[in-house]
Amino acid sequence: MGYTSTLKFVNLGVRRRLFRRAHKQPHHKWDSIKNQLNELLKYGRIETTLTKAKELQGYAEELIYLAKKDNVENNLKVESMLRTAQGRRRLYEFYVPLYRHRPFFFTRIINQWKLRLRDSAPLAYIEFIDRPGELRPAKPVGYNKIKFIYEEMKKNRRNFRKYFNIAKRFHLLDENDHLLPDFADTGHVPEKSWYDEENEEDDDEIIINPELIQKYKKFNNPMLKGPKKGREPFYVDLPLPSVTERTFLNYRKKFKP
């Protein structure tokens, strides 16, 4: 269950288990999810138990999905899920441009098929795909997907029939519905790589503009603090409940002791 679903059930007052069983109270689980999200954004891959990885995957997927949409409501949700400034910068400067052509499925879980020594919990990896250092390559998107379809259609007639409608949409066929002899004739141009692994800078250190510090000292205003750790509410500024939600709330009020 993702972040939006959790908000919905909490705001509706539903008394049910919101998380998978991990032997913790809900606010402790929420802190654990936030901490693991921050580590996942920072390193790209973390090792945890299989249960926690499945629970974390829904929140990581929705974090990228909401960050790609630029509006006030989604920005509030994203900010309430982030813990550190490094994670925020990594999210908006690395992962959002990286997945501009991928609509969903940004993470993968790989079961290690081994147990942790101290409590025999099954271990797994959770990682973001399409990044340098991933455990196995993901299915291509964008230009690479079109080129992959073209190469598959050249192999045999079965693949030609399989990808025929997709090839027609991407203009890989001529007027007689035959595959073009050369992929360069299709007119598709490879995308420019926005990410250069060799010139990657260490973004662990945050540089604050000294002029901003002088400005705050001049007006005797304290510097803005980062996100607070500890118990944080689930609620953000959401729109008013719909008619169905209000009916559900009134229905629950009848049975309150």
Residue pLDDT, tens place only, 25-62: 666 778 888 999 999 999 999 999 999 999 899 999 99
Query: How far is 68 from 100, CA to CA, in rounded Å?
Result: 8
Write down which residue in 148, 167, 190 finishes a domain. Answer: 190
% of the chain exceeding 70 in pLDDT: 64
Query: Same domain, yes or no, for 79 and 119?
Result: yes
Tell me whether residue 256 is in a domain. no
Query: Same domain, yes or no, for 113 and 182?
Result: no
Question: What pTM was estimated for this model as a whole?
Answer: 0.62
The two three-digit tokens of residue 85, written as one number: 């400034």
Distance of CA 91 to the CA centre of its chain: 9
Tell me whether residue 250 is in a domain. no
Q: For the residues 87-97, what does the mean pLDDT come to?
A: 90
Query: Same domain, yes or no, for 97 and 154?
Result: no
Binned at pLDDT 50, 70 and 90, residue 143 comes out as: confident
Tell me whether residue 145 is in a domain. yes
Q: What's the confidence (pLDDT) of residue 182?
A: 86
Residue pLDDT, tens place only, 152-207: 999 999 999 999 998 998 889 988 999 988 888 788 777 665 444 444 454 445 45
Query: How far is 89 from 24, CA to CA, in rounded Å?
Result: 30
Query: Same domain, yes or no, for 113 and 51?
Result: yes
Query: Same domain, yes or no, for 80 and 115?
Result: yes
Q: Is 48 helix (H, G, I), strand (E, B) or coil?
A: strand
Query: How far is 181 from 207, CA to CA, in rounded Å?
Result: 53
- Which helix (H) or strand (E) segment holds residue 125: the answer is strand 122-128
Which residue segment(s) compose the domain that 157 sits in?
A: 138-190
Alpha carbon distances (Å) from 125 to 5, 111, 188: 24, 6, 36
The total domain count for the chain is 2
Query: Same domain, yes or no, for 132 and 144?
Result: no
For the chain, the distance separating the N- and C-terminal CA atoms, rounded to the nearest angstrom, is 29
Tell me whether residue 233 is in a domain. no
